[in-house]
Amino acid sequence: MSTGLKVLYIDDEALLKMAFVETLKQQGYDARGAISGKEALDLIDADMPDIIILDVMMKPMDGWETLTHIKNRATTQDIPIIMQTGKSLTIKDVIRYGDQIEDYLIKPVRLPDLVKAVEGVRERREMIQGEVDQAKIRGGDPDLINEYAQIRHRTLIGKRLITILGRIYPIKTDGTIETDFDIPELHQVINQFEEDQKRCKELHQSLLV
């Protein structure tokens, strides 16, 4: 049964790319594959995907550079992108790219985890759109509704990225940092997430309660 979602899987490991494209097709996705950033950009121009799964460790154009090209184009900047790699997520990655990605998967990636990540994109967007529609029905201010949609999405992704960072950095399960550990960049990420959460709650109270 088709899901209706067009997925572009980008990885310069040809066999891995072929295997995941075929398995995604078996799960009902309209899946295609590319083995380089340049090929991916050409495919995107030819037929816009709904979701992109992008490997970080590619040559000559790596995943982060490919991500930047996609996000710098007005026609493609809103395509949700899931990054995957064998490397751990770093604080610098989150600071630089956190607002541009939907999820981050660590290789080896199992098919159930990949499908869960893809479906997570759909579920988040449908949930936020439902809340936006509800706020519009209530007569909410359009600018505040737009701000809420953006910050709601950012907090959901931020929570996921902080969970991943917590595998290698001293972040507690409640999202706080161990008190005796001082990494300025880590505090920057956590503080921004907490500010976003606070503003999100304020807007939720104003628009939806």
CB 106 within 8 A of CB 84: yes
- The pTM of the full predicted model, rounded to 2 decimals, is 0.90
Q: What does the pLDDT read at residue 180? A: 64
Look-up of token digits 């080896």:
108
Mean pLDDT of the chain: 92
For CA atoms 106, 107, 111, 114, the dihedral sign is positive
Summarize the confidence of residues 179-186 as an average pLDDT.
75
Q: What does the pLDDT read at residue 171? A: 77
Check pLDDT > 80 for residue 182: no
Tokens of 129: 């759109």
CB 186 within 8 A of CB 169: yes
pLDDT more than 70, % of the chain: 97
pLDDT digits (tens, 9 = 90+) for 165-175: 888 877 777 77
Q: Classify 104 as helix, strand or coil.
A: strand
Q: Give the model's confidence band at 1: pLDDT under 50 very low, under 70 low, under 90 confident, else very high.
A: low
In DSSP notation, 49-90 reads: -SEEEEESS-SSS-HHHHHHHHHTSTTTTTS-EEEEESSPP-
Q: What does the pLDDT read at residue 179? A: 60
pLDDT more than 90, % of the chain: 77
Q: Give the model's confidence band at 131: pLDDT under 50 very low, under 70 low, under 90 confident, else very high.
A: very high
Question: Rounded to the nearest 10 degrees, how much is the dihedral formed by the CA atoms of 159, 162, 163, 164?
Answer: 130
